[in-house]
Structure 1
């Protein structure tokens, strides 16, 4: 059989490609920025849908205002007293960020100490687990006795709640280094400092950031808990005052602001994680 003159020797080993517009059209993949925009749009739609369902339930059930109000009433309250809510939001935000910063620093240091020292791990790890089982609301009065009724006591309550996820995640992250890399560092006679800085903490960063995303939301809750116990300012105080006055629009307005703060801080920590560990996005 004689081969067709249009088919060369070089082309015989190649697979056949379908002709037509579909074969010529390049495959377009969505970039990470477009994926982020899509995710943000879906999140906004989800939140708006939740508010719509909430308002619909209130409209259909028509409960008395001292039992339940809809999101429209809460947003009207926010619009009528923006300065009041902004001032108290700023106070709670300061307390939460201070507690988160302290909790992050102490949590990472404590997690590293647990990993690198078997003596500290033997004595401290069971004690930390025991303390972690204590409800943090029970610890709040103790911090108020120690640090008074001001800013410091709320920040330390937030720190106590944000501390433990970072301890556990740092300890687990430092222990996640592959055995092959550890052996390679020993073969190349890398110092303990270089192994820690160049290998172990690099592997621990994603785990630490995962703990930070949990801790930042807990820090906001910790600041509110401190304001519940002994606060004269902040969103926790707004909620307690609204509760005593059976003012549900103010209470739900504070809830919405708290949720917005926690969500915004969570996404900021997540964004920082994407910048710090860009290689993690390619392994998903």
Structure 2
């Protein structure tokens, strides 16, 4: 049942996408929309096919920045959440500071990272990490706290050390929330990578979009956006695949298998 349901969902998504592409293509042709305003999808796809090495090179750089930034955000976010749950002082100070920092538009911080870290890959990775870390911290913190007090009392009655309670009781219970934050975080990390490439890029898909805008090359910009959409989708479902592999016992995974 699960296989056929997923196959049906994939088929539905493909049909919807195909209809949208056909409507897009026909609208451009019927209304005579000029390519520099809205290129037809066939032209956009042709640009990708005609320059595979170029798009592969730019995509690899963006994926590299996104992956490193996401990894830093994941490790830092999980450790920060553990510290927040373990210490009331850190909860009152760092957690509040994190919420306040998140309210600042990250685009406004991007030029500062360029000043501090230069124009290489470091500022882009930093921007990706700082954008991705917030949902990871929030979701992990909620997961670590959302546990039955009876389980905590049972562990303490067995004289389990505080660290063992955290890592063997709280953390396994929080894994679904960690993955929920990670799936949001990977999308945010990709956004952060593009923002960094906009501000101080010399390569990457964000830089391609920026230079295409400067030369009114809408076809190249749409091609880069299409590749970004594909990459973001792949990275999201990679996180989801790891979640299914690590959490086959969770109710969300069992309910999917039972459909």
For the aligned pair, the TM-score class normalised by the smaller chain equals over 0.9
1:180 pairs, out of 134, 138, 150, with 150
Q: Is the 8 A contact 2:205 2:228 kept in 1?
A: yes
Q: How does 1:1-284 map to 2 (within 5 A)?
A: 30=1, 32-280=2-250, 281-283=253-255
| CA distance in 1 between partners of 2:63 and 2:241 (Å) | 19
Relative distance call for 1:264 and 1:77 in structure 2 (3 A) is: same
Partner of 1:15: none
Tell me which of the two structures has the higher relative contact order, counting C-alpha pairs closer than 8 angstroms and 6 or more residues apart: 2
Q: Secondary structure at the residue paired with 1:160?
A: helix
Q: CA deviation at 1:65?
A: 1.8
**Structure 2 contact 36–219 (Cα < 8 Å) conserved:** no
Deviation at 1:283, TM superposition (A): 4.9
1:67 and 1:48 map into 2 onto residues whose CA distance is: 22
Separation (CA, whole Å) in 2 of partners of 1:203 and 1:56: 51
Q: When the two structures are aligned, how many residues end up with a matched partner?
A: 254
Shift of 1:244: 0.7
TM-score, normalisation: structure 2: 0.93
Q: Which structure has greater helix proportion?
A: 2
Q: Mark the CA change 1:74 to 1:120 in structure 2 (over 3 Å): closer, same or farther.
A: same
Whole-angstrom CA distance in 1 between matches of 2:91 and 2:43: 52
Report the Cα distance in structure 1 between the residues aligned to 2:244 and 2:126, rounded to whole angstroms: 28
Q: Quick one: distance in 1 between partners of 2:61 and 2:245?
A: 28
Structure 1 residues without counterparts, runs of 5 or longer: 1-29
RMSD of equivalent CA atoms: 1.4
Partner of residue 12, structure 1? none
Cα deviation, residue 180, structure 1: 2.3
| Structure number with larger C-alpha Rg | 1
